[in-house]
Amino acid sequence: MARLCFPVLVQLVLLIAGVAGGPWQEFLRPQSDVDNDVVGTRWAVLIAGSKGFENYRHQADVCHAYQILKKGGLKDENIVVFMYDDIANNSANPRPGVIINHPNGSDVYAGVPKDYTGNDVNVNNFLAVLLGDKSALTGGSGKVVDSSQDDHIFVYYTDHGGPGVLGMPTLGESLFASDLVATLEKKHAAGTYRSLVFYVESCESGSMFEGLLPANISIYATTASNATEDSWATYCPGGGQGEAPPPEFMTCLGDLYSVSWMEDSDAHNLRNESFELQYDNVRNRTLSWSHVMQYGDLGLNAQTLDLFMGSSDPANHSATVGSTDNLLMQLSSAVHVHQRDADLLYFWHKYRRSSDGMSEEARKELLGVMAHRSRVDKGIERIGGILFGTEAGPQFLTAVRPTGWPLVDDWDCLKSMVRAFEEQCGLLGQYGMKHTRAFANMCNAGVGPIAMPNLASKACAASTPPSF
């Protein structure tokens, strides 16, 4: 009878420990999880891939993420930050030198390392940092992920994106999914990490890994949306009490997926929450707007957050994000805006609030953004019409491949297509990245990049910039 009772007693103790918390949890946890620094080092790469005050939220997201990691015990020497750094001291910032990521939040900008700013936020430097390749850097602090086989790496990327692509602040430069995954595979082949977790905030962010990220290289990724849908900005002007930013702000303060995982991290003891639980929490919060996804080695989602983010008491975060008592309620009812429309919202509010002397300039700014969108859309539409006819063109260019397939078979073709189009029609920009699926579908149908200059020339010649 004693043998039968012993397992029951153990289960009872475990249950009590799990509910009650306190020292029992540390006693019962395997020693390797109590102090994860015993084996390996935690590294982090944080990148905001945009610039401009209309994109305030991306740098606010990155600054908030830094504060979480810093309070978790990560050292600055192990955290690499990419941000254009044109927000905190921007003339449009109603709180000079301060960035917030929550309507009731305080400054998240203080203390953030400026490793790569301005034009040093680029694809080459980002991939070189991941690989730990100092020789490939061009500018910046020179800090890289100089990791070893026992280390754990956390990467967080927030920006605009499109099918198979993530943005960068330098116009005309983008990070393609094939290059990102190839870099991750190279990192694995070098044997310079034990496990890596990658969080991505952008429209169609699932397409960065769908059909591409292997499940056997110890990398776990989650994304703000699947391969075909937008992600969302949040804490935007126009929301109700507790939802909108302070009235002096004309821009969104955060992104829905991003503030979901960060506020979840703020509200929990990171030693007690797994990536799987955080994934479920974030997915449930964002389900009405986008479908949060996970890719790669799903076995890694059983790891606790502290293995990558460090461990800290949730109470320590109250000054950063405000009260956490009503986070779920606030987030579920907050005003959300498509990532690609958040800039329009900013320019619209800027125009509405402008004084008589500035109203014409603000009006031109707003109309310029709208005109660019129209020119890109019409150029792509005309190319589809030339290739497949006006009826079938739109359907062909927006067709989605089956789940589990990569966006395109020939990524070099896709890159060449985009470059050729931009040479004739102008840069796609953060809005136009949504059309990379159209170029991918052309490549998949056998339309080569050689044909694009002539197609784009015909399509865009009819599009003339409007006069304001």
Nearest CA among 408, 41, 418, 25 for reference residue 212: 408
Average pLDDT over the chain, rounded to an integer: 87
pLDDT at 314 over 90: no
**pLDDT at position 39, please?**
67
pLDDT tens column, 7-60: 333 332 333 333 333 333 333 333 333 344 446 999 999 999 999 999 999 999
CA-to-CA distance for 364 and 342, rounded, in angstroms?
17
CA-to-CA distance for 389 and 7, rounded, in angstroms?
71
CA-to-CA distance for 71 and 202, rounded, in angstroms?
26
Backbone angles phi, psi at 385, to 5 degrees: -65, -40
**pLDDT at position 352, please?**
87
CATH number of 38-338: 3.40.50.1460
The structure tokens listed for 156 are 């967080």
Helix (H) or strand (E) holding 436: helix 436-444
pLDDT tens column, 395-432: 999 999 999 999 999 999 999 999 999 999 999 999 99
For range 110-125, the mean pLDDT: 98
CA-to-CA distance for 81 and 122, rounded, in angstroms?
12
- For residue 315, name the pLDDT band (cuts at 50, 70, 90): low
What proportion of the chain, given as a percentage, has pLDDT over 70?
Answer: 84
C-beta contacts of 385-391 below 8 A and 24+ residues apart: 386/455, 386/458, 386/459, 387/442, 387/447, 387/455
pLDDT tens column, 328-351: 344 334 478 989 999 999 999 899
Residues in the chain: 468
The structure tokens listed for 393 are 């063109």
For range 169-173, the mean pLDDT: 89
The architecture that CATH gives domain 373-461 is Orthogonal Bundle (1.10)
Burial class (CB in 10 A: 0-12, 13-18, 19+), 242: middle
Residue with more model confidence, 10 or 326: 326
**pLDDT at position 192, please?**
97
Residue with more model confidence, 87 or 31: 87
**pLDDT at position 360, please?**
85
Question: Within 13 A of 120's CA, how many CA atoms are on the CB side?
Answer: 19
Measured in whole angstroms, the distance separating CA 173 from the mean position of its chain's CA atoms is 16
Cβ neighbour number for residue 301 with a 10 Å cutoff: 18
Contact at 8 Å (CB) between 304 and 265?
A: no
Residue 226 has what DSSP assignment?
A: -
List of residues 6+ apart from 370 with CB closer than 8 A: 344
Domain ranges (residues) in the chain: 38-338, 373-461
**pLDDT at position 356, please?**
66
pLDDT tens column, 203-261: 999 999 999 999 999 999 999 999 999 999 999 998 665 678 999 999 999 999 999 99
Amino acid at position 210, single letter: E
List of residues 6+ apart from 176 with CB closer than 8 A: 164, 165, 411, 414, 415
Alpha helices in 287-341 (DSSP H): 306-309, 318-321, 327-333
CA-to-CA distance for 258 and 223, rounded, in angstroms?
10
**pLDDT at position 331, please?**
37
**pLDDT at position 243, please?**
79
Question: Within 13 A of 26's CA, how many CA atoms are on the CB side?
Answer: 8
Contact at 8 Å (CB) between 260 and 331?
A: yes
**pLDDT at position 171, please?**
83
Residue with more model confidence, 270 or 16: 270
Contact at 8 Å (CB) between 441 and 423?
A: no
Pairing of strands 219-223, 293-296: antiparallel
Contact at 8 Å (CB) between 183 and 193?
A: no
pLDDT at 202 over 80: yes
Active site residues: 160, 203
- What does the H/E/C string look like for 233-265? EECCCCCCCCCCCCCCCCCCCEEHHHHHHHHHH
**pLDDT at position 462, please?**
62
Measured in whole angstroms, the distance separating CA 387 from the mean position of its chain's CA atoms is 34
pLDDT at 374 over 50: yes
For range 309-326, the mean pLDDT: 55
Question: Within 13 A of 160's CA, how many CA atoms are on the CB side?
Answer: 29
